[in-house]
Structure 1
């Protein structure tokens, strides 16, 4: 075991009266330090339609959902020690949504709704009002990040994944009509 340490840690000669050099930290260790310093915020969303002050959306309508500026698609961090630097990059593929009484179709981060917009990659269609749930339907929102790193010492690799999540309570209203005919 001692020989493994000796061969894995090269010896350095330090002349009398000289300060020893700072130990070199490898790129993978720096990458882990950089990643440990990162805090990815929980995902935040906007949605539309929203009715008046209630903020309710409607049963049976395509409700557009999009990540707000507080939800990063990519996060990077760099750590440096001596001559070695490591950069960590975390990339999310989009939002993952789920809610009771809803059909979800979300393959990205969504597009903020605007008058005349032609479509989005993230919608929810609520199939029932939120009255039976106490007035709001909980929409679970998560973003999963794949984490990789590169370092100036040639090290590179995968650091796994990370997921952030939040819940947004959305009021879902139902529109009812009565058709009558005169006979």
Structure 2
């Protein structure tokens, strides 16, 4: 009788490889080869894996400064406890659920019992553990299928005596480490500045170029997510700044967070206000009527992995940070004489 291939033939939509209600026997296909996706085996810790995060973009750290912390996440593949040795033997006895099941299955779905299961049932008490993977913990169904086959190529069912630790063998794909690093990236905050800025009021002027910039900008941050034997690094690079305010045409400042004003400098990040805020209501927390200026920085993230050195993969979703400032806008008063 051939060994079962139920696990390998499972639909990608399955949330977890089966064997909870049906034990598939030795389902590893000798023709399956581990993928080069960067799967790695971390030390067992229940059904959790400690991931070390480090870099200049660590969430909760000081902007632009290198930091380090550890998070605990569920692995994508791991060993799960199943039936005891006695329960498993009973399932294969005459009239048991597995012996009854194999008689009803088509030939291509037939499966055999775990090796030495009767010996294990007659010996010291213990439980069977089987290798499994969870679809939701992979970035795609294709990655799940490849990761599962790779995991099964290196891990078989294991009988563990009661009181002994569960078998080691947990996997987090490189893509999942990269996603974790992306989600844990804290893009640098900043303060929006502008010029002209009249002394005493901070007001800019109607009809002139108002320079806008982010003070002390950080243009690149990195976060690395690492487990033993595998790491993924996400690099977020500043791309552009979009400046918008009521009463002024919006402007996109490509490749720059603006230029701080100094005599003789130039900028491509300026807006022109067409009317004063003198007749506007005074907003909470302000002493003068103001207009809200919104500056949105857009960042492009990419990632690399120790599993595939030199390969740089761009993340699908750009990252953004929104800055706001309340700016009074004054008119230039002129005196005309004849």
Q: Which has the higher strand share?
A: 1
Residue in structure 2 matched with residue 53 of structure 1 by the alignment: 200
Counterparts of 1:106-117 in structure 2, within 5 Å, are: 106-107=253-254, 108-114=256-262, 116-117=263-264
1:117-138 per-position Cα deviation (integer Å, ceiling 9, x unaligned): 2311211111111123321011
After TM superposition, give the deviation of residue 18 of structure 1 in Å: 10
After TM superposition, give the deviation of residue 180 of structure 1 in Å: 1.6
- Partner Cα distance (2:271, 2:165) in 1: 68
Q: Where does structure 1 lack aligned partners over 5 or more consecutive residues?
A: none
Pair member with larger Rg? 2
Residue in structure 1 matched with residue 297 of structure 2 by the alignment: 143
What TM-score comes out, normalization by structure 2 length?
Answer: 0.48
Residue in structure 1 matched with residue 236 of structure 2 by the alignment: 90
- Partner Cα distance (2:268, 2:257) in 1: 7
CA contact (8 A) 1:104 1:123 kept: no
The answer to whether structure 1 residue 128 and structure 2 residue 275 are counterparts is yes
Of 66, 80, 90 in structure 1, the residue corresponding to residue 226 of structure 2 is 80
RMSD: 2.6
In the alignment of these two chains, the number of paired residues is 179
- Partner Cα distance (2:261, 2:326) in 1: 19
The answer to whether structure 1 residue 3 and structure 2 residue 157 are counterparts is no
When structure 1 is superposed on structure 2, of 73-82 and 147-156 the one drifting more is 147-156
Residue in structure 2 matched with residue 158 of structure 1 by the alignment: 314
CA contact (8 A) 1:43 1:164 kept: no
CA contact (8 A) 2:242 2:250 kept: no
1:16-38 per-position Cα deviation (integer Å, ceiling 9, x unaligned): 99995552422111111112222
The answer to whether structure 1 residue 63 and structure 2 residue 196 are counterparts is no
Residue in structure 1 matched with residue 177 of structure 2 by the alignment: 30
After TM superposition, give the deviation of residue 86 of structure 1 in Å: 0.5
The secondary structure found in structure 1 opposite 2:218 is coil
After TM superposition, give the deviation of residue 97 of structure 1 in Å: 0.6
- Partner Cα distance (1:157, 1:23) in 2: 24
The secondary structure found in structure 1 opposite 2:264 is coil
Residue in structure 2 matched with residue 177 of structure 1 by the alignment: 334
**Structure with bigger RCO (C-alpha 8 Å, 6+ apart):** 1
The secondary structure found in structure 1 opposite 2:301 is strand
The secondary structure found in structure 1 opposite 2:259 is coil
When structure 1 is superposed on structure 2, of 119-128 and 153-162 the one drifting more is 153-162
CA contact (8 A) 1:104 1:125 kept: no
Change (3 A) 1:18 1:127: closer
